[in-house]
Structure 1
Amino acid sequence: MLSDLAALAAAFSIAVSNVIAPSAVRHLGPVRFNAVRLAAALLSMLAPVTLRGRWAAPSHHQLLLLAASSLLGVVVADSCFYAALARLGPRLTAVVYASWTAFAAVLGYLLLDETLSTIKIIGVGCILGGVCVAIIFRQPGAISDETHGSLRTGLLFGLAAALFAAAAVLVARPVMAAGLDPALATSIRAAIGLAGLLTLSVMPGGRSSLPVDRSVMIRSALSGVLGMGVGMTLVLFALTSRPVGIVSSLSSTTPVMILPLLWWSTGLRPAPAAWLGAALAVTGVIAIVSGL
């Protein structure tokens, strides 16, 4: 039950992170933005790990798995996500990316022999369906998405982002099940991901010409602390005792949790169908945590 609550708390933390991030992404560009947020997440995680004295080093095998998880999730998945975003727009990209929960459940079953009861499979389906409905029927008055370039290419990038994100969680699962401290694991993943993103940032197209002010840096850093720092640490904690399919489903309820946050920040009330999607997702959560 505690792991389930951690996964849901991760979804909320990531939702807050996503609400405050867009303007910073536009100023810095996706690569530099990710680098700043990862640096902030790394600093925020090193402090509690040091104070608690949880510096028990992972084995070489665990370190390799965390490195693979970071490169798959932070460098590859994020890059594919933003490539899809540029082609499909935010709404359609979010719908396609929601498929990562299904990928995670299938990969967990095929590679880790994780099985789910019928009621939990129904719960995963309800969450996935509810998230898609909540995304598709957004608040009235929102700007419509515009597709740029090849629709097929955008869809392939979106599906690749979902697949690599699921693989990143899958690779981290054995490490967390072995009892590695989640904050330490987050610090290691952030450091490795930061190195990869800094490499990408010096390449052509990795920089933004827009001026950078204190507000942009604060938003980027806060997004990193909430999304990568708090959010991913909670996800990794949940993976210590729960299957990949369950954790990915619960933590993917971010789009549903964004609804009241956007209502509060913009004053635009979500469409009734969006609340229906939220209710469907909540039904799925209840099914998953029911213990059946």
Structure 2
Amino acid sequence: MMLHDLAALAAALAIAVSNFIAPSAVRQLGPVVFNAIRLGAALLTMLAVVALRGRWAQPSGDQMLMLAASSLLGVVVADSCFYAALARLGPRLTAVVYASWAAFAAVLGYLLLGETLSAIKIVGVGCIVGGVCVAIIFRQPGAISQETHGSVGAGILFGLAAALFAAAAVLTARPVMAAGLDPALATSIRAAIGLAALLALSAMPGFRSTLPVDRSVVVRSALSGVLGMGVGMTLVLFALASRPVGIVSGLSSTTPVMILPLLWWSTGLRPAPTAWLGAVLAVSGVVAITSGF
């Protein structure tokens, strides 16, 4: 398994933990304000990393434009839609809907970048998406109903929009990372641009939080940002430096499988045996993607 493949899998784990601690904070703050807090925390963390490493190489004008587009698509639109879905659907059902981003990314990578995957790798992506859906859908009775709040239909629409725009964001960043830009610096740039846009949105009446905010909510939001945007997206960008969009998206889509034991621990609801079969199917997809064929 290549180092870049391991990075994509590690990104899935970091994002799983980030999503696990996010739902209650999103419901209290709203997706835009929550996303602004997590981005601020991620930006400070990544700037510290870049400063320690001394990687301040300035991107070209074209690279800055592509990173800006990637940030607006991924950080502002996709993340806000994702957290809007998460607040309504909870982590399990959101994960099922969001798993479609791997398929979106593979198709867009083929259509726009000319990236092709071997037959076994296409099967691998399909196994991951299918395994994720089986792992989450076949759960203990009532598990998802305990996590949903509000309109499920609206949550699904938000989830699909998040998946599509996330795939477009990764696709836009791929040429920049392939050119050798430092992943931590790229994450910092994306976070800074996204934060500026979200702060502008959060100042508008329709996006302000009307509920009181306590310190624990802010801490959870910041920790979610450091893990998801800081660690997770930096690892995704690192993986994109040498691996096709379809492979990186497939490997990082294993987040829902990784979140199963976290939900088991927190809710006491043990996933059904068929859920673990889905996890095995997803792992089989990982093996297929990372094979030399």
Q: Distance in 2 between matches of 1:260 and 1:104?
A: 27
TM-score by structure 1 length?
Answer: 0.93
| Counterpart for residue 249 of structure 1 | 250
TM-score by structure 2 length?
Answer: 0.93
Q: Distance in 1 between matches of 2:96 and 2:240?
A: 24
Q: Distance in 2 between matches of 1:198 and 1:138?
A: 38
| Counterpart for residue 190 of structure 2 | 189
Helix, strand or coil for the counterpart of 2:205? coil
| Counterpart for residue 238 of structure 1 | 239
| Counterpart for residue 267 of structure 1 | 268
Q: Distance in 1 between matches of 2:237 and 2:206?
A: 32
1:49-60 equivalence runs, <5 A: 49-60=50-61
Q: Distance in 1 between matches of 2:67 and 2:109?
A: 17
Change (3 A) 1:140 1:121: same
Post-superposition offset of 1:270: 1.1
Contact 1:140 1:271 in 2 (8 A): no
Change (3 A) 1:126 1:117: same
| Counterpart for residue 111 of structure 2 | 110
Contact 1:138 1:270 in 2 (8 A): yes
Post-superposition offset of 1:89: 6.3
1:1-292 equivalence runs, <5 A: 1-84=2-85, 91-144=92-145, 151=153, 155-292=156-293
Q: List runs of 5+ in structure 1 lacking aligned partners.
A: none
Post-superposition offset of 1:154: 5.5
Helix, strand or coil for the counterpart of 1:57? coil
Change (3 A) 1:186 1:150: closer
Of all paired residues, the percent bearing the same amino acid is 84
Q: Distance in 2 between matches of 1:265 and 1:86?
A: 17
Contact 2:70 2:173 in 1 (8 A): yes
Q: Distance in 1 between matches of 2:81 and 2:278?
A: 26
Decide which moves more: 74-83 or 237-246.
74-83
Q: Distance in 2 between matches of 1:103 and 1:132?
A: 16
Decide which moves more: 170-179 or 191-200.
191-200
Post-superposition offset of 1:243: 0.1
Decide which moves more: 230-239 or 12-21.
12-21
Post-superposition offset of 1:236: 0.2
Name the count of aligned residue pairs: 291
Q: Distance in 2 between matches of 1:251 and 1:150?
A: 25
Per-residue CA shift, 1:18-73, capped at 9, x if unaligned? 11112211221111110000000000000110111100010000000000000001
Change (3 A) 1:89 1:17: closer
Q: Distance in 1 between matches of 2:152 and 2:262?
A: 32
Q: Distance in 2 between matches of 1:81 and 1:50?
A: 30
Contact 1:15 1:255 in 2 (8 A): yes
Helix, strand or coil for the counterpart of 1:242? coil
Q: List runs of 5+ in structure 2 lacking aligned partners.
A: none
CA RMSD of aligned residues (A): 2.0
Helix, strand or coil for the counterpart of 2:59? coil
Post-superposition offset of 1:87: 6.6
Change (3 A) 1:266 1:245: same
Contact 1:3 1:241 in 2 (8 A): yes
